[in-house]
Amino acid sequence: MGKLQLKQHLQSITQKQVIDIVLQLYDAKKEAKEWLDYYLQPDEITKLEKYKKIIHEEFYPSTRSTWSPKTRFAVCRKAISDFKKLQPRDEYLAELMVFYVETGCRFTYDYGDMWEQFYDVFERNFEATMKFLQKNNLIERFQPNLDNILKYSKDCGWGFSDAIKEIYYEYTH
C-alpha cells in the first residue's frame, strides 16, 4: 500500500477509527511512540542529548567495570537516522553528525591506530557531514569541532589524517 491509498483509506473512515489506528500504532511500535511523543511535545535538545549518549556509549562506555568499547557503526548510524526522522532543525542534526565524527576521531586519538574499515567509515561520515554543513551554512558554527577533528586525526594511520584534511579543505576553501 502506498501513501495515496493510505490517505484515501483514512479519509473514508471516521475520526474515531483514525484515532483508534493511531493509538494502536502508538502501542505497537516503539518508533511510532517516540515520533508521536516528539510531535506532541518537541524537545530537540533532550532528543539530541539522548542520541549523543547512544553514540558516546559506543566508544566510551559508562560502565567502567566491564569497559569494552563496541564501536558499532550501525548503532551510531541508527541513532543519527532515528534523530533525523524526528525532523529536528538542521543545526541540531548537524551537531549530532559532527559529534559522531568528532567522537570517533577522539577515540582513535586516545587509543591509537584502528583498523582500515574504521577509518573508511569515518572518512565517509566526515564527507557527508561537511556536505551537510556547507549546504546549510553551518561550517562556521561548528569550526571548533572541526578543528578538534583535524587535531584528533593528525597522527592516525592508513592515510586517515590526509583524507580528513583533504575533505575539510574541499568544503572550506
For residue range 80-107, what is the model confidence (pLDDT) as tens digits? 999 999 999 999 999 999 999 999 999 9
Average pLDDT of the chain to the nearest whole number: 93
Q: Are 79 and 47 in contact (CB under 8 A)?
A: no
- Calpha distance 124→121 (Å, rounded): 5
Where residue 1 falls among pLDDT bands split at 50, 70, 90?
Answer: confident
Ordered by start, the domain boundaries in the chain are: 1-41, 42-172
Tell me the pLDDT band of 64, cut-offs 50, 70 and 90.
low
Longest alpha-carbon distance in the chain: 63
pLDDT, tens only, 117-130? 999 999 999 999 99
pTM for the model: 0.88
State the average pLDDT over residues 3-16: 93
Residue 72's closest CA among 85, 83, 56?
56
Is the per-residue pLDDT at 66 higher than 80? no
DSSP reduced 3-state for 16: helix
| SS3 assignment for 23-88 | HHHHHHCHHHHHHHHHHHCCCHHHHHHHHHHHHHHHHCCCCHHHCCCCCCHHHHHHHHHHHHHCCC
